[in-house]
Structure 1
């Protein structure tokens, strides 16, 4: 009976001649012949499956799609994204908006936030900063049908397997009664609700914060805040530790010492001459523990000594800049508006393809850049610094036009 019920939904695809089938009809065949058997094997009922995909068609406006029979295109340089200056990520109106919005809500939500911090160890400022960054404290429009987005991407995206896993998790959410099909609204990337969880993250981390028996991350502020903190706690947030400190790094300390695999006691960093920008010593309980050098713009911007909690923030979003934004905004929510002491310098106009070419050049020389993806992560930054030092140059640990020309 389940097979018959599911087949009824897809009768259109079966009646169209093969030569006349559209991408949409191919999508329907894929749902019936490929996705449905796996979903059924995972305990998804035909009722849930049919309801999820009723009226759903392929959304070809979504990015990173490859039509059936085609190969992914390699964009030409002039069409690739321009490499953005890290400082752009910290536009003051954006940071101030999250910090101010967080402070405005901190008092009203204090009982819930205090309870969350007691339970998870995650400070209120951090939780509020994530909420503000992800959805503007719930004000951002999240208008897409999650099954349309995830279905399209599982069928056509360049990362099909990832989105297939998320699509099956979304079906499981409905099957378990966590949410109705109608309420499954997402971003264009398939992220759900105010914390912008992917479905697998919802199943693993979403919790009921208001005691009504449901984890409603679309409408409940208490559930949203509790779920964000629960996510960070599950990934190892260390209670009682900060996320990091802005510091001054002397010129005789190499920027190539950056990275989570090159940690040392914070007291040892201090012994090398690294100091907090506010002139205060590192807290005693932090000084005894491990910290890591972070220079997201190399010598071209502010520097930090960060703790393991910084890398927990990166579990929410793999970007160093994202984690730094959340930590910084969280501090401003908790302690008032304190801008970075260091300035973000100017960046040469480069394309990501330029950065990728430079990375491939470094790889040929034996450096581990973490992959030639056009994004200068810490492995790329410190590889630049090590190459510069070997050439007798003052390390900057950041891409520029001259480096691209020298290493292409």
Structure 2
């Protein structure tokens, strides 16, 4: 009984005790703001020395910021831009548009010569070719064709200061974006320590070495074939030729396939198919297109997609162009250039000449070419800007006009076509 009273007393005292203190309220004050990152340090670069040419100096001052943003160090930029002046010879070369275009037949006749074939004979057995062919799959004859056209087998590489050349082209503005990109690439070559500026000599347009690589192509594609730690396309022919092979391989070169083959077509053939669809040789054969030499297609060629080309019109030699032709055009995007390389390669390998000879073509003046383009546009066949360059757009428009008028639609701008266009459009 006594024990119950003590327990009851404890319960009463517990009920009278003060309630527990509530927890302090949660603070809703936001934490201090994060510290903003410090701005990048301001890079100080000395302004370029005035050259005396206002246009060039204004460009050089603006270019500094773009070069720094592209990763060129201030010390490299200051050193290479110091005392830089435009080259008046380059300015004249870049702005000069030929009054007369050189016909493809004249170009090929000037390229595929007995002299070049003789010079190639002593180079066919160079030890470097075995390893280059095995690695990249590009035949030595094709590489010799490139080598011959680009620098006369290394003899004519150009002696222009590439930095000065590209700076001049950049300041002129006609091709500023391209030229500035190549100038920055050239500065990166110097900055890397791989080659000093004194080594960067080349053509007036910035192409360098035995295989005439522009600086950006050197950075992305040149190779050190002999393993000496330096990609030397100027003095080391193995590096130069392997670099050219690497460019062609990256451009889609297919081992074992032809670059092109001369073909014949039946009477009444629809020449509007030139520079058009890409079909297999068997598919072309269904339309009467066959090898001019009468030989069968190899298995490698039979499965390839080939395009029909009539570079000198329906009266000249005709070709099926295989993917390797277009790989050559990654080197230089010119039909005539790729034909020159390929036909040179054929001559180096001892292949016979063409079945159909090149016709005697008459050069067209710049005025005639531009007049023809304006006439096509006036007649509703858009050739693009009337710039006098007979490129793909002009040839496509011309083929459409020829086909609409019942003419041979080969897209070939001859003097006769110019006269017809001018007469129909009433051009003077």
TM-score by length of 2: 0.82
Is 1:60 aligned to residue 93 of structure 2?
no
Q: Find 2:277's aligned residue among 262, 269, 284.
A: 262
Q: 1:227 is paired with a residue of what secondary structure?
A: helix
Tell me if structure 2 keeps the 8 A contact 1:2–1:46: no
C-alpha distance 122-273 of structure 1, shift in aligned 2 (>3 A)? same
Residue in structure 1 matched with residue 186 of structure 2 by the alignment:
170
Is 1:147 aligned to residue 163 of structure 2?
yes
Tell me if structure 1 keeps the 8 A contact 2:157–2:212: no
C-alpha distance 96-380 of structure 1, shift in aligned 2 (>3 A)? farther
C-alpha distance 212-370 of structure 1, shift in aligned 2 (>3 A)? farther
Is 1:187 aligned to residue 203 of structure 2?
yes
Is 1:137 aligned to residue 137 of structure 2?
no
Q: Displacement, 1:126?
A: 0.8
C-alpha distance 370-275 of structure 1, shift in aligned 2 (>3 A)? farther
Q: Deviations over 1:283-325 (max 9, x none)?
A: 2331232111011111132110011111111111111000011
Tell me if structure 2 keeps the 8 A contact 1:258–1:378: no
Q: Larger Rg: 1 or 2?
A: 2
Q: Find 1:51's aligned residue among 72, 79, 88.
A: 79
Q: Find 1:218's aligned residue among 226, 229, 234.
A: 234
Tell me if structure 2 keeps the 8 A contact 1:167–1:199: yes
Tell me if structure 2 keeps the 8 A contact 1:256–1:383: no
Consecutive unaligned residues in structure 2, runs of 5 or more: 1-40, 423-428
Which structure is higher in RCO with an 8 Å CA cutoff and minimum separation 6?
1
Residue in structure 2 matched with residue 208 of structure 1 by the alignment:
224
Q: Displacement, 1:176?
A: 1.3
Q: Deviations over 1:246-271 (max 9, x none)?
A: 11122322222111x41111111122
In structure 2, what is the Cα distance between the partners aligned to 1:107 and 1:320? 29
Residue in structure 1 matched with residue 317 of structure 2 by the alignment:
302
C-alpha distance 28-87 of structure 1, shift in aligned 2 (>3 A)? same
C-alpha distance 168-135 of structure 1, shift in aligned 2 (>3 A)? same
Tell me if structure 2 keeps the 8 A contact 1:80–1:353: no
1:269-288 → structure 2 map (5 Å cutoff): 269-288=284-303
1:238-257 → structure 2 map (5 Å cutoff): 238-257=254-273
Q: Displacement, 1:388?
A: 2.5
Deviates more, 1:164-173 or 1:93-102: 93-102
Q: Displacement, 1:404?
A: 1.5
Q: Displacement, 1:113?
A: 1.6
Consecutive unaligned residues in structure 1, runs of 5 or more: 14-20, 67-71
Q: Deviations over 1:2-59 (max 9, x none)?
A: 955x41x73x53xxxxxxx831x6534532x312222222221233223323443111
Residue in structure 1 matched with residue 70 of structure 2 by the alignment:
42
Residue in structure 2 matched with residue 233 of structure 1 by the alignment:
249
Instruction: Tell me the number of residue pairs that the alignment of Structure 1 and Structure 2 aligns.
Output: 382
1:19-38 → structure 2 map (5 Å cutoff): 22-23=52-53, 27-31=56-60, 33-38=61-66
Residue in structure 1 matched with residue 338 of structure 2 by the alignment:
323
Tell me if structure 2 keeps the 8 A contact 1:149–1:190: yes
Tell me if structure 1 keeps the 8 A contact 2:260–2:325: yes
Is 1:374 aligned to residue 404 of structure 2?
no
Deviates more, 1:152-161 or 1:87-96: 87-96
Q: Find 2:417's aligned residue among 400, 403, 407.
A: 403
In structure 2, what is the Cα distance between the partners aligned to 1:188 and 1:404? 34
Q: 1:61 is paired with a residue of what secondary structure?
A: helix
Deviates more, 1:363-372 or 1:41-50: 363-372
In structure 2, what is the Cα distance between the partners aligned to 1:61 and 1:2? 37
In structure 1, what is the Cα distance between the partners aligned to 2:364 and 2:56? 39
Residue in structure 2 matched with residue 97 of structure 1 by the alignment:
115
Moved over 6 A (4+): none
In structure 2, what is the Cα distance between the partners aligned to 1:251 and 1:370? 32
TM-score by length of 1: 0.86
Q: Deviations over 1:357-384 (max 9, x none)?
A: 2123223444354654423335533543
Cα-Cα RMSD: 2.5
